[in-house]
A and B are shown apart, each in its own frame.
Chain A
């Protein structure tokens, strides 16, 4: 879980860097050119299939873990239960599977919106400097003018924020890396990416909804 989780964090960083091109005020040119590169490059193809596999593996292991741990907990619940935590957010830490499930549902909807459209849907084309490109930018504009899609994206990013703030530092602990000198730094990095990545993603639908 720790290795797949950290790989997915890496993926998020790269994905965010690409998507931030949507904030450029160029009618979508940079984004559409980038989209074409991403859908045609064989290297990206290999990496993206690896990525799908790791997401499914991570989700499968996570859900399996959830059931295992629920069984270990037993049928009788505490009448009063307070979960305190040290150096992590106790809400996030004790709801990783639910937060993950929210992310999984989000991924399904998100892939249906954009990835499926690129592969099998009807995407209009646009010509830049004599080359034709599929204009995914128009799809993005259309999706993000729908308040429900925008709200759901923001909610999912909140879930991702919690999943990452606990998950990033937790992965290091699972790998046996806990050190008085480095662990505070790792926890700090986890908090920073746990805030910056989700905000970075959420800015895009919000920008389109309110400013376009």
Chain B
């Protein structure tokens, strides 16, 4: 299949980018990233700069791949990462627009690669549990109800890719943050630090310059792991409770 790609090219953070158009010949068995590999091989053989894009696992579990394809973060298919998006979903002759995730908190490094370290700092602010290291605890020593374990696991499916921020018209990081808060706070081991976790993570999220959630739900619609906005309501609930209970001042 012959495709026309309109790709955002930007030299570095300081420079202004533009769209460049490329022709590429792909087949329907390739993933979207493999199709970009073919393009890059072409560019390299012509002694041109290859297109920079991020990737790691290429099996939909690491959250590294990040690009907006035809207006959708990770492409138009629901519940799929860009690396798992196959070219059979496109047609011969398609014109495909590929852009980086856009948000003030995610500045573009180069081409399609953006700096998502804001997410790391949100995790550092509270996305952990404090336990002493030592011998592994027996798996069933702390009983967890089946449906609670399921809900925690659904939230834990978040791969931290940032598509929720890219999809949100407010560039809010609420879906990501709420998935982490829900995942940890649903389980007994995470409940110990629940109040300080939600306050610290939300404060960090605001400090990074993400927008405020107004429940557009574009995040859930585009999330490759189909994380539910019910987690955002849970975060709001826990945030109210923690703000009332905590001795710390809330900004």
Interface residues of A (CB under 8 A from B): 65, 68-69, 71-74, 76-88, 90, 93-94, 96, 166, 169-170, 173-178, 180
Contacts and interface: CB of A to CB of B under 8 A. Distances in A.
A90 B103 CA distance: 19
Contact of A173 (B102, B105, B215): B215
Contacts of B235: 176
B103 A73 contact: yes
B238 to A, nearest CB: 8
B175 to A, nearest CB: 11
B169 interface: yes
B104 A80 contact: no
Closest 3 pairs (CB-CB, A-B): A176-B237, A178-B233, A72-B211
Contact of B229 (A69, A72, A76, A173): A173
B233 A73 contact: no
B217 A88 contact: yes
A69 B216 contact: no
A53 to B, nearest CB: 22
Nearest to A80: B71
Contacts of A77: 102
A159 to B, nearest CB: 17
A83 B167 CA distance: 7
B84 interface: no
Contacts of A74: 102-104, 171
Contacts, number: 120
A74 B165 CA distance: 12
B214 A170 contact: yes
A103 to B, nearest CB: 16
A65 B170 CA distance: 9
Given A73-B169, A73-B170, A86-B217, 18 more contacts: A69-B171, A69-B214, A72-B104, A72-B209, A72-B210, A72-B211, A73-B211, A78-B68, A79-B6, A79-B97, A82-B70, A84-B167, A86-B229, A93-B214, A94-B169, A94-B216, A176-B236, A178-B229
Interface string B186-204: 0000000000000000000
Interface of B: 6, 8, 17, 19, 68, 70-72, 76, 97, 99, 102-105, 108, 167, 169-172, 209-218, 220-222, 229-230, 232-240
A192 B237 CA distance: 26
A69 B212 contact: yes
Identify whether the interface residues of A are mostly helix, strand, loop, or mixed: loop
A72 to B, nearest CB: 3
Nearest to A178: B233
Contacts of A96: 214
Contact of A93 (B68, B211, B212, B217): B217
A81 B97 CA distance: 10
Contacts of A93: 214-218
Given A74-B102, A77-B102, A80-B70, A65 B212 contact: yes
A65 B211 CA distance: 8
Contacts of A170: 214-215
Contacts of B237: 176-177
A86 B233 contact: no
B221 A80 contact: no
Nearest to B100: A76
B250 to A, nearest CB: 15
Nearest to A75: B104
Contacts of B68: 78, 80
B103 A85 contact: no
Nearest to B165: A72
Contacts of A94: 169, 216, 218
Contacts of A72: 103-105, 170-172, 209-212
A87 B233 CA distance: 14
Given A85-B217, A87-B217, A174 B236 contact: yes
A88 B103 contact: no
Given A69-B171, A73-B104, A175-B236, A84 B99 contact: no
A45 to B, nearest CB: 33
A71 B103 CA distance: 9
A77 B18 CA distance: 12
B19 to A, nearest CB: 7
A169 B105 CA distance: 28
